[in-house]
Structure 1
Amino acid sequence: MNYYISFVGAGSGDKELITLKGYKRLKNADVVIYTGSLINHELLDYCKDGCIKYDSAFMNLDEIIDVIDKNVKAKKYVVRLQTGDFSIYGSIREQIEELNKLNIEYELIPGVSSFLGAASSLKVEYTVPEISQSLIITRQSGRTPVPEKENLREFAKHQTSMVIFLSVDKIEQVVEQLTSDGGYSMDTPCTVIYKATWEDEKKVIGKLSDIAEKTKQANITKTALILVGDFLGNEYNNSKLYDRGFSHEYRSSHNKSD
């Protein structure tokens, strides 16, 4: 390893869902800057004795970069531990752009995003054959605006599988936008999952017609995903992949008449 700084995706919550490569990096770190408001703090148990830890929840960008710069110059190995996978709402671009200015080399080690952990926890597949073959990952506009062409009303017109981050506190607005202007029907299955794969995970299962009220009753206001689409329903179709009548590079078909 020729890097003094590694960005590591912490996984969706369960401390064992960090990748093996991420675990090895974390175990060898001299300094860890972790997203304290979002990651499972039990991950810090993997750190060696003497590892210095910084909670980035109390730091701004300049402070984070300053800690990295000083420790890299001191030949200390730094791990920047971020929630889920940092490629989705991870604010990683602004960090690596600053490191580029300082000529600090780094590596990126992906993690298990919460939308993947949520699907496994719910025992669902986003891409059910003939039901949905696309997945939209998005968020409601907030302090960080969303481009107008990516608003929920426009995406809802596709009526495909959707995962909505960072929006459960605005769930009434979300439902209104998803069901207007030719979007989803009010009968579309919808699930809110709080802290997917954590020990205190909580699921609220319903339809767009009642999910807002159910979520309020469950007192879920943050750290949750909104999943919408018919992939959550009972209807499904088998794929062709394991169909006995389907041939591909590795297998010949076996029809009933064979």
Structure 2
Amino acid sequence: MKVYFIGAGPGDPELVTLKAQRLIRSCPVILYAGSLVPVELLSEAMPGARVIDTASLHLDEIIAQIVQAHERGESVARVHSGDPSLYGAIGEQIRRLKALGIDYEVVPGVTSTSASAAALGNELTLSGVAQTVILTRYAGKTPMPEAESLASLARHRATLAIHLGITRIHKIVEELIPHYGADCPVAVCYRTGWPEQQLIRGTLNDIVEQVRRAKINRTALILVGEVLDPAQFDDSWLYREEQAHLYRPKVKPESPRQVKRDATAIPPPFNTES
């Protein structure tokens, strides 16, 4: 028996890893965050699987469900949105499982940051503009460490991905303008990957009014940075003609390198035992 903390991605059923899909199909118990994970992702659960929406459960009740499954010898798919290592609240669950001696494994998922950048058609790291992405959240019920205040992070002028802050976007803008300027591009990505997805582009100067008009007050990621609408940026060094490296030597072969495939030497499949 094992508990699998599974990253279900941002909401698009196709943005789920093969491993996550296999575990959802094979685990007899599925605990999922119904407020953030679309039930469609669980449509291929095994017949007779116990599928429980944990949105209304507190931590003790969730652990109780896991303990009951453990006593029955049944593995549990604990399905979280995005990637469970980011704002997934898995740390407190893992702490309980360790104390109980229950085995677990974390299965990564597509983050809302990467999915939102893809939906926007943007790269978040552009040469000459920004080479750092800071994933953070805004202080609310859970306080932020003093060294991680938004103003402190903003001094880097890196690309920001701000979680759990849409209801305080007016305060976020006030803290960012002194560092990024009022004309800095912003994108608010609401329920990326869901049918009701909304992508709102603007600047720090006008994004608050746009969000209020759209009546977005939850489940949104705020992206900030010049990479969202750069005036210009440099080509990468990697693909420059004059830049030689191991796979592109200065003296090139007469024709592009082709990968030869030997049908008799197909590698074994990935290990699917875990």
TM-score interval (norm. to shorter) = over 0.9
2:223 is aligned with 1:227: yes
Of 76, 79, 85, the match for 2:77:
79
Partner of 2:235: 238
Partner SS state of residue 151, structure 2: helix
Q: Distance in 2 between matches of 1:253 and 1:232?
A: 35
Cα distance in 1 for partners of 2:175, 2:250 equals 46
Aligned counterparts, 1:47-196, within 5 A: 47-180=45-178, 183-196=179-192
1: distance between equivalents of 2:112 and 2:186? 17
RMSD: 1.2
Structure 2 residue corresponding to 1:211, chosen from 207, 211, 219: 207
Alpha-carbon distance in 2 for matches of 1:236, 1:202: 27
List 4+ stretches of structure 1 deviating above 3 A.
none
Q: What TM-score do you get using the length of structure 1 for normalisation?
A: 0.95
* Among 1, 9, 19, the residue aligned to 1:21: 19
Corresponding residue of 2:263: none
Could you say what secondary structure the match of 2:98 adopts?
helix
> 212, 231, 246: which one pairs with 1:249?
246
Aligned pair partner of 1:10 in 4, 8, 11? 8
Conserved 8 A contact 1:186-1:207: yes
Per-residue CA deviations over 1:171-194 (Å, capped at 9, x if unaligned) read: 1000001123xx110010001010
Q: Deviations over 1:182-214 (max 9, x none)?
A: x11001000101011222110111000000011
Aligned-pair distance for 1:254?
7.1
Superposition TM-score, scaled by structure 2 size: 0.89
Contact kept in structure 2, 1:27 and 1:46, CA below 8 Å: yes
2: distance between equivalents of 1:136 and 1:77?
A: 35
> What do residues 201-235 of structure 1 show as CA deviations (whole Å, max 9, x unaligned)?
10111000000011111111111011000000132
- Alpha-carbon distance change, 94 to 247 in structure 1, aligned in 2, over 3 angstroms: same
1:85, 1:91 → 2: CA distance? 11
Give how far 1:4 is off.
Answer: 2.4
Change (3 A) 1:54 1:251: same
The alpha-carbon deviation at position 6 of structure 1 amounts to 1.0
How far 1:40 sits from its partner (Å)?
Answer: 1.5
5+ residue gaps in structure 1? none
Note the C-alpha offset of 1:236.
Answer: 2.3
Amino acid at match of 1:105: D
The match for 2:30 is 32
Structure 1: distance between partners of 2:205 and 2:143: 26
Contact 1:35-1:55 within 8 A present in 2 as well: yes
Q: Which has the larger radius of gyration?
A: 2
CA distance in 2, matches of 1:46, 1:109: 18
Whole-angstrom distance in 2 between the partners of 1:123 and 1:223: 20
The verdict on how the C-alpha distance between 1:209 and 1:49 changes in structure 2, with shifts beyond 3 A counting, is same
